[in-house]
Amino acid sequence: MGSAASQHRPDTAAAVVAMVGAGQLAQMTQQAAIALGVQLRVLAQLPDEPAVLAGADHRLGSPDDLQALLALADGADVVTFDHEQIDPGLLVELERAGVNLQPAPAAKLLAQDKLHARRELERMGFPVPPFTHAHSVEQVQAFAQQHGWPLVAKTPRGGYDGRGVFELADPEQAAAELATHPDGLLLEPLLEIRRELAAMVARSTTGEQVAYPVVESVQRDAMCREILAPAPIDAELAQQAAQMALQIAQRAGITGVVALELFDTPAGLLVNELALRPHNSGHYTIEGCVTSQFEQHLRGVLGWPLGATELTAPAVVMVNVVGAADGSDPLRRIPQALAVAGAHVHLYAKTARPGRKLGHVTVCGADLQGARATALRAARELGSEP
Amino acid sequence: MGSAASQHRPDTAAAVVAMVGAGQLAQMTQQAAIALGVQLRVLAQLPDEPAVLAGADHRLGSPDDLQALLALADGADVVTFDHEQIDPGLLVELERAGVNLQPAPAAKLLAQDKLHARRELERMGFPVPPFTHAHSVEQVQAFAQQHGWPLVAKTPRGGYDGRGVFELADPEQAAAELATHPDGLLLEPLLEIRRELAAMVARSTTGEQVAYPVVESVQRDAMCREILAPAPIDAELAQQAAQMALQIAQRAGITGVVALELFDTPAGLLVNELALRPHNSGHYTIEGCVTSQFEQHLRGVLGWPLGATELTAPAVVMVNVVGAADGSDPLRRIPQALAVAGAHVHLYAKTARPGRKLGHVTVCGADLQGARATALRAARELGSEP
Best to test chain B binding among A34, A210, A332 (most B CBs inside 10 Å)? A34
Q: Is the pLDDT of residue B321 over 50?
A: yes
pLDDT score, position B12:
63
> Residues 6 or more apart from A243 whose CB is under 8 A from it?
none
CB contact under 8 A, B4 and A1: yes
Alpha-carbon distance of B379 to B93, in angstroms, equals 43
pLDDT of A385 > 60? The answer is yes
DSSP element (H, E) containing A376: helix A368-381
| Residue-range domain boundaries for chain B | 4-101, 130-189, 195-381
A41 in B contact zone (CB under 8 Å): no
A383, pLDDT greater than 90: yes
Nearest CA-CA partner of A227 in A300, A349, A311, A333: A311
> What's chain A's average pLDDT?
94
| pLDDT surpasses 50 at A314 | yes
Distances (CA, A) of B377 to A183, A342, B305, B361, B373: 56, 31, 37, 10, 6
- Residue A216 in this model has a pLDDT that exceeds 50: yes
Contacts of B158 (CB under 8 A, 6+ apart): B85, B164
Q: Tell me the residue type at B76.
A: A
Å from B353 to nearest chain A CA? 13
B200 closest CA partner among B105, B108, B283: B283
What residue of A is the nearest CA neighbor of B51? A34
Chain A contact set for B339 (CB, 8 A) = 305
**Which residues in A lie closer than 8 A to residue B56 (C-beta atoms)?**
55
Instruction: For residues B105-125, give the mean pLDDT.
Output: 96
DSSP A281: G
Q: Could you give the CA distance from residue A229 to residue B5 in angstroms, rounded to a whole number?
A: 40
Who contacts B168 (Cβ-Cβ below 8 Å, separation ≥6)? B140, B144, B149, B150, B151, B152, B153, B174, B177, B187
Does A316 score more than 70 pLDDT? yes
Q: Identify the DSSP state of A45.
A: S
pLDDT of residue B3: 37
Asked if B92 has any chain A CB less than 8 Å from its own CB, the reply is: no
- Rounded mean pLDDT, A171-191: 94
Is residue A155 a contact partner of residue A181, using CB atoms and an 8 Å limit?
yes
**Best A58, A334, A360 residue to mutate vs chain B (most B CBs within 10 Å):** A334
* Residue among B2, B342, B346 minimizing CB distance to A4: B2
Q: Does the structure show a pLDDT above 50 at A207? A: yes
B8, B9, B11, B12: best to mutate for the A interface, most A CBs within 10 A = B12
State the smallest CA–CA distance between residue A279 and chain B in angstroms.
17
Q: Is A162 left (phi over 0), alpha (psi -120 to 50) or beta?
A: left
**Angle at CA of residue B55, ends B49 and B59, nearest 5°:** 60
Residues of A in contact with B12 (CB under 8 A): 329, 331, 349
In B285-324, the residues whose Cβ lies within 8 Å of chain A are: 290, 299, 303-305, 307-308, 312-313
Look at residues B306, B78, B56, B359 and name the one whose alpha carbon lies nearest to residue B200. Answer: B306
Predicted pLDDT of residue A13: 80
Q: How confident is the model at residue B1 (pLDDT cuts 50, 70, 90)?
A: very low
**Whether the Cβ atoms of residue B217 and residue B319 lie closer than 8 Å to each other:** no
Contact criterion met (CB < 8 Å) for A35 and B347: yes
Closest-CA residue of B relative to A337 is B305
Average pLDDT over residues A22-29: 98
* Percent of chain A whose pLDDT exceeds 70: 96
Write down the mean pLDDT value for chain B. Answer: 94
Query: Where does the pLDDT of residue B2 fall: very low under 50, low under 70, confident under 90, or very high at 90 and above?
Result: very low
Return the CATH number of the domain spanning residue range A195-381.
3.30.470.20
Do B346 and A305 lie within an 8 Å CB cutoff? Answer: no
* pLDDT at B96 > cutoff 90: yes
Average pLDDT over residues B71-89: 96
Identify the pLDDT of residue A5. Answer: 36
What digits encode the pLDDT tens for the residues B145-163? 999 999 999 998 876 666 7
Q: How far is A322 from chain B (nearest CA, A)?
A: 16
CA-wise closest residue to A198 among A213, A188, A209: A213
Residues of chain B in contact with residue A352, where contact means CB-CB under 8 angstroms, are none
Please answer yes or no on whether B36 and A347 come within 8 Å at the CB atom.
Answer: yes
**What is the pLDDT confidence band of residue A359, given thresholds at 50, 70 and 90?**
very high
pTM of the model: 0.95
Residues A243, A262: Cα–Cα separation, whole Å: 12
pLDDT at A289 over 80: yes
Specify whether the CB–CB gap between A353 and A320 falls below 8 A.
Answer: no
CATH top class, domain A4-101: alpha beta
A vs B: CB pairs below 8 A: 151
Indicate if the pLDDT at residue B323 is higher than 90: yes
Q: What is the pLDDT of residue B5?
A: 36
Interchain contact A9–B (C-beta under 8 A): yes
User: CATH 3.30.1490.20: does it fit domain A130-189?
Assistant: yes
Residues 6 or more apart in contact with residue B87 via CB below 8 angstroms: B63, B64
Region A213-227: mean pLDDT is 94
Interface test mutation site (partner B, options A8, A19, A53, max chain B beta carbons within 10 A): A53
The whole-number pLDDT of residue A163 equals 77
Is the four-CA dihedral A175, A177, A180, A181 of positive or negative sign?
negative
Residue of B nearest to A2 (CA): B4
- The CA–CA distances, whole Å, from B307 to A292, A377, B279, B283, B318 equal 21, 15, 17, 16, 21
- State the DSSP string of A47-113: TTSHHHHTT-EEEE--TT-HHHHHHHHTT-SEEEES-S-S-HHHHHHHHHTT--BSS-HHHHHHHHB
Span B323-345, mean pLDDT? Answer: 95
Cβ distance A13 to B338 less than 8 Å, yes or no, reads no
Q: Which tens digit of pLDDT belongs to each residue from B277-319?
A: 999 999 999 999 999 999 999 999 999 999 999 999 999 999 9
| CB of A46 less than 8 A from some CB of B | no
Task: Give residue B160's pLDDT.
Answer: 67
Contact A50, A36 (CB under 8 A): no
Task: Tell me which residues of chain A, numbers 325 to 354, contact chain B at a CB-CB cutoff of 8 Å.
Answer: 329-332, 334-335, 338-339, 341-342, 344-347, 349
Instruction: Report which of B191, B187, B173 is spatially closest to residue B139, judged by C-alpha positions.
Output: B187
Provide mean pLDDT across the span A64-71.
97
